[in-house]
Structure formats: C-alpha cells, structure tokens
C-alpha cells in the first residue's frame, strides 16, 4: 500500500474533523477526495504530508511514517490557495527548482541535469515560456501551474494536491488532468482534493466522499452528477 | 586629502565596511523574503547587552556581544517555534530586555560614554587589525554558509509549509538563519553600529529587488549595492571629516534605493523574456 489510514481521528480543538477514517490507496491509483467544506479533505492531505499528526489511529505513507523526512522527500504536495507574494522577486524556474532541493541533498547545488528536469516539469504544465518570469507578476492560474510543476519536478511516488485547478483557466485544466493521469500510469499515487469534479471525472480511478456519515466511495456517474454540490 | 584616503585606519575601514556591506544583503535577502526585516534591529539590542556583560566579566566587547546575541536569538527562535509566544511579541520582549540590560550594566560600570555611542552608531575608523580579522572571519562564516545551503534557505524562504512537507529540516535552517544574523550584526557593530546594521540587512535588498527579476539576481544586486554604499559612505565621511561613517553608509544605501525606485520600473519594462536577471 502507498497510503494507509486506519481509524484516524483528528480534531481542531473540540471540533472533530476526522472520526475513525479508514483509507487504503495502492501504487498507480488516481483518487479524488470530495466532500463539503469542513469535511476533512485538506486535513487528510496535511496528515499524509506530515504537517499534522492525528490524535488517534495509524498513518502509513510509502511504507513509513509521514513524520520521517526520508518519506516526505518522496511526496509532492501542493497546499490549498496561493502563497502571499514576497518582497523579493522569484523567477518561476527558481520556484520549481526548489522542488528538487530535498532530493538533491545538503551542500549540493542544483546542476545542469536538475535544471533540465525543471524545464520538463514546466513544459508538462504549459509553463516553459514563462520560466524566467517573476512568479508574483503572473496570473493566479499561472502561479498555480508553477506550484504544480514544483510538486511534480522530483517525480514523487505520492502526489497530494489540494484544489490544484483553482484559478487555472479551462484551456489548461485538461492538460493538468492528463499529466496527473500519466503520472499515475507510471506508478505514482495521485490524491486530489477538489470541488470541481468535472476537471477529473474522466481520469480518476476512485472517488472518495467525506463528510456525510462514514467515508464512502462514489461511482463516476454519481460523482459527475454531483458536480459543484460537492 | 589623498594621504587621509590611504592611511592604515582608512584602509582597514574600507575592508571592514566592504565585507559587512557584502555579507549583510546576502543574509538580508532571506530575512526580507520571510518578513523578518527587523530581526537585525533586535539582535543589535541583544548584542548591546552582550557588550555590557562582556565589560562586566572582563571579556572583549565583541565576544560578549557574539555570545549573548547567539544565545538570545537562538533561544528566541525556539520560543517562537514552540508556539509559547507569538513571533513579534516574543521578539519585542527579548529585545527590549537586551537594550535595557545593556543600558543598566553600562551605566553601573560608569561606561555609558562615547564608547557606548561608538557601539550603537559605529566607529569604523578605530577598527584595529585584530578587530578586522574577527570581522572578516565572522562574515566569511556567513558567506560560506549561504553558499553551502543557499538552495535550502531559498526553499524555506519561498514557502515554509511546503518546505516542511518535502522533508527539509526547517527548524534547523531557521536556527542557522538567525545564528548567521547574529554573526553579521556583531561583525557590523564596529562598521556601522548596532542601531544601523539592520539597515544594511534591508536597504540594499530593497534596492536590488526593484531591479532584478529573480531571487538570485536580487541577492547579487543587493550585495553590489551594499559594497558600493559602504565604500562611498566611507569616502564621503573621510572627505567631509565630521560626519559619522555609519550614517553616511546607510544614507548612501538609501540613495541607491531611491534611485532603484526611479529606474526599477523602467528596467522591468526593458527586461526581455527568457533572461534571468
């Protein structure tokens, strides 16, 4: 199993968000987590990325604990929302290159081969033309695509994306969906949290619904029909 | 006039101010990006207490400042990350403690005199050879550290949460960042003073970021502005004869910032796509 949650409980203060969640995902699966606001979708991603620890239950990611930095280096993660612009200009390729830093190791600068990978990652999200532009001067959708490229550049075995198509125009949404499908076909496990089922309904393997009683799986037709009501 | 410009004390001052002018923006670029622009000020407050405690315990002021600044700022970082106090509140409490302790100890030792003013506003023309060696060594440690872990510091500066999720040792890198800031502040104590060193961490970076289109470009531009400001400020102080070199250096850097405000946007429009500044 790439990812396994067993009887996971999590609460922000007194408010329980996850109440005994069980979920198992294997390599090569493309999964959408759906559900209303506050159902715990983003919390699950953050627990799997090692950013939150559950109050109870067991979480295993890529055969280890998400608290282990060696495990986290094999994960590509895009959090929800855009980062606030910084004071210093940062080029798109610098942002994407940062995705290779953990794998490269301490004291070893990024080399020619790494920058080639950056170009490939940018190309995969239709951003190669903007490699040298300042990130914060781009549109929200372009910034989001750069963040996706940053998550994908290290060829992670587990890809965790929270609302990855937010702000991205309709022209590029199929490009993103197909790229993620290709990653899953190559063996990566892809987990996407989304409120836009139509972006992914044709490429996902499983749809998991949270927040309406126990966690359950939706069929493709049910998922597509639910649309934005999720 | 020409003789003054090439005297031993002037030559030592050029080297001292230049290395500080080169190093401060290299660290300041990360601090500004992380919205920690004022941390240099706070470390200066702690270093002031360190100078006073150094005198109290018969330790060289520079070493007293270094020890207290390092211990204080690393402790502060731990306090901040533990969540026991909010970031700006914990900084304010510790830094005010530093300046107050320094003032009390120095006045109790009857040393709250011109030398204290020199510590606060710099006295680069009185830098001895041994002071200079220490300053260069402290700055060299900082520059080597930035060179070795540049990509990690950049990843954390861009987005701490994503850096943490990708397995980077964010807490350790934060401690290294504040420790580097401490070394720089202590190195700059004699060059521009504890109250003005923070300006060299920030102002050249503000100027560089108006011109460049990348983080690396901003840092290199800022380092150039830092060195040129240091040398021009010193030359003005030597030529004029009565103005404080620390203030002259910082005002020169602010002049470069004003210039960058005027030409930065034009440079941006001219900047061709596909070229990283």
Answer whether residue B96 shows pLDDT above 60.
yes
Q: Is the ipTM of this complex over 0.85?
A: yes
Q: What percent of chain A has pLDDT over 70?
A: 96
For residue B86, what pLDDT band results from cuts at 50, 70 and 90?
low
* Closest Cα in chain B to A136: B213
Mean pLDDT, rounded, for A165-179:
92
Mean pLDDT, rounded, for A119-126:
95
What's the sign of the alpha-carbon dihedral B46, B49, B51, B57? negative
Answer whether residue A101 shows pLDDT above 50.
yes
Residues of A in contact with B212 (CB under 8 A): 89
Of A29-33, A82-86, A149-153, B135-139, the least confident: A82-86
Residues of chain B that touch chain A, judged by Cβ-Cβ distance less than 8 Å: 29, 32-33, 35, 148-152, 154-155, 157-159, 161-169, 205-206, 209, 212-218, 273-276
Q: What is the CA radius of gyration of chain B?
A: 19
Residue A113 structure tokens: 């081969």
Answer whether residue B23 shows pLDDT above 90.
yes
**Cβ(B62)–Cβ(B53) under 8 Å?**
no
**What pLDDT, on the 0 to 100 scale, is given for residue A227?**
61
Average pLDDT, chain B: 89
Task: For residue range B196-253, list pLDDT tens digits in order.
Answer: 999 999 999 999 999 998 999 999 999 999 999 999 999 999 988 888 999 999 999 9
Task: For residue range B256-276, list pLDDT tens digits in order.
Answer: 999 999 987 544 443 444 333
B90 phi-psi bin (left φ>0, alpha ψ -120 to 50, beta other): alpha
Quote the CA–CA distance of A170 and A154 in Å, as a whole number: 26
Mean pLDDT, rounded, for A221-228:
67
Paired sense of beta strands A216-218 and A206-209, if any: antiparallel
**What pLDDT, on the 0 to 100 scale, is given for residue B5?**
82
For residue A45, what pLDDT band results from cuts at 50, 70 and 90?
very high
Residue from A42, A83, A86, A88 to probe the interface with B (highest B Cβ count within 10 Å): A88
Contact A109 B150 (CB under 8 A): yes
**DSSP string of chain A, one letter each residue:** --EEEEEEEEEETTEEEEEEEEEEE-TT-EEEEE--TTSSHHHHHHHHTTSS--SEEEEEETTB-TT-HHHHTTEEEE-SSPPPPPSS--BHHHHHHGGGHHHH-TT----HHHHHHHHHHHHHTT-GGGTTSBGGGS-HHHHHHHHHHHHHTT--SEEEEESTTTT--TTTHHHHHHHHHHHHHTT-EEEEE-S-GGGTTTT-SEEEE-SSSS-EEE-HHHHHHHGGG-
Q: Of chain A residues 121-180, which have a CB less than 8 A from chain B?
A: 129-134, 150
**What pLDDT, on the 0 to 100 scale, is given for residue B87?**
65
Question: Nearest-CA distance from A71 to chain B in Å?
Answer: 8
């Amino acid at each position: 199993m790439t990812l396994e949650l067993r009887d996971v409980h999590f609460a922000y203060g007194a408010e329980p968000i996850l109440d005994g969640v069980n979920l198992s995902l294997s390599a090569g699966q493309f999964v959408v987590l759906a559900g209303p606001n506050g159902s715990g979708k983003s919390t699950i991603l953050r627990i799997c990325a090692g950013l939150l620890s559950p109050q109870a239950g067991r979480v295993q990611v890529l055969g280890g604990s998400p608290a282990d930095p060696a495990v986290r280096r094999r994960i590509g993660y895009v959090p929800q929302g855009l980062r606030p612009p910084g004071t210093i200009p940062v080029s798109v390729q610098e942002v994407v290159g940062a995705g290779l830093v953990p794998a490269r190791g301490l004291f070893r600068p990024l080399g020619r081969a790494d920058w080639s990978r950056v170009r490939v990652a940018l190309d995969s999200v239709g951003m190669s033309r903007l490699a040298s532009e300042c990130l914060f001067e781009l549109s929200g959708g372009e910034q989001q695509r750069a963040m996706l490229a940053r998550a994908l550049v290290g060829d992670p075995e587990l890809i965790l994306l929270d609302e990855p198509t937010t702000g991205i125009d309709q022209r590029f949404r199929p490009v993103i969906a197909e790229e993620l499908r290709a990653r899953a076909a190559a063996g990566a496990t892809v987990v996407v949290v989304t409120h836009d089922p139509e972006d992914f309904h044709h490429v996902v393997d499983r749809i998991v619904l949270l927040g309406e009683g126990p966690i359950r799986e939706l069929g493709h037709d049910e998922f597509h029909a639910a649309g934005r009501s999720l | 006039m020409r003789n003054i410009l090439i005297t031993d004390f002037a030559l030592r001052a050029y080297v001292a101010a230049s290395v500080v002018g080169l190093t401060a923006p290299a660290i300041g670029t990360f601090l500004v990006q992380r919205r920690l622009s004022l941390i240099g000020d706070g470390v200066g407050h702690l270093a002031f207490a360190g100078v006073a405690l150094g005198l109290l315990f018969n330790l060289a002021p520079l070493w007293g400042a270094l020890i207290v600044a390092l211990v204080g700022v690393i402790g502060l970082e731990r306090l901040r990350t533990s969540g026991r106090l909010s970031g700006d509140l914990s900084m304010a409490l510790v830094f005010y403690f530093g300046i107050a302790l320094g003032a009390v100890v120095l006045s109790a030792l009857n040393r709250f005199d011109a030398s204290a003013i020199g510590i606060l506003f710099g006295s680069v023309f009185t830098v001895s050879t041994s002071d200079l060696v220490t300053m260069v060594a402290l700055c060299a440690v900082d520059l080597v550290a930035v060179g070795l872990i540049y990509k990690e510091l950049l990843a954390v500066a861009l987005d701490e949460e994503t850096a943490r999720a990708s397995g980077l040792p964010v807490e350790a890198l934060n401690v290294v960042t504040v420790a580097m800031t401490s070394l720089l502040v202590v190195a700059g104590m004699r060059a521009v003073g504890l109250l003005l060193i923070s300006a060299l961490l920030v102002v050249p970076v503000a100027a560089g970021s108006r011109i460049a289109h990348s983080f690396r470009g901003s840092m290199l531009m800022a380092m150039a502005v830092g060195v040129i400001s240091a040398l021009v400020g010193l030359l003005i102080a030597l030529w004029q004869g009565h103005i404080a070199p620390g203030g002259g250096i910082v005002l020169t850097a602010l002049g470069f910032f004003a210039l960058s405000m005027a030409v930065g946007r034009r440079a941006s429009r001219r900047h061709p796509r596909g070229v990283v500044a």
